[in-house]
Amino acid sequence: MPFEQPVGKRTLKEVWRRQVRWAQMRRSTFPFFYAPEILTSGFLPLAAGAFAAIALGLPLGPSAIVMLALWYGAEAFLAHTAEWHLGWRSPFLWVLRDLMIPAIWINGWFGDQFVWRGNRIRVMTGAQKAAGHRLTSVGEPIGCARTWAGSLAGAAPAPLH
């Protein structure tokens, strides 16, 4: 079993920013593999199940409940088997995650900068990477971290372009 990687308690805003930051990095690094990530939520399998239920003349309400139980039950089984955290809130959080996936995916395509540990960072484009730039550029730190980071580095951070 892999070792635990506790990240501590996070607000919804912090979780959102982290997910968008990683989406931007994946899109910048592997756009061909990032494109189909929109299909990773439970929406398409559940929609296909609903379509099948209607086509077979089954009642939609009970069929939807069964499909949700199967989809998220499989995730619960995986979490239990892998000894990941599994609590009473997990199914609700999985649904929330699946509802957030389209918005995170869209932000991953169109965003190119984020704030990480008080620093504005811009994700480089493919052309910039081909020209020899690093994957990211660090901009001016945000807030009180500016003084600390500037004095630590001994120089002003590079501005975003």
- The per-residue pLDDT for range 78-110, each reduced to its tens digit, is 999 999 889 999 999 999 989 999 999 999 998
- For residue 139, the surrounding DSSP H or E stretch is strand 136-141
> What value does the mean pLDDT take over residues 2-6?
65
The whole-number pLDDT of residue 114 equals 78
List the domain boundaries for the chain: 10-111, 112-161
Listed residue (143, 144, 136) closest to 160, CA to CA? 136
pLDDT-derived band at 154, boundaries 50, 70, 90: very low
- Say how many C-beta atoms besides its own lie within 10 A of residue 120's C-beta: 17
**Pairwise pLDDT comparison (131 vs 51), residue with the higher score:** 51
- For residue 115, the surrounding DSSP H or E stretch is strand 113-116
28 touches 124 (CB < 8 A): yes
pLDDT-derived band at 140, boundaries 50, 70, 90: very low
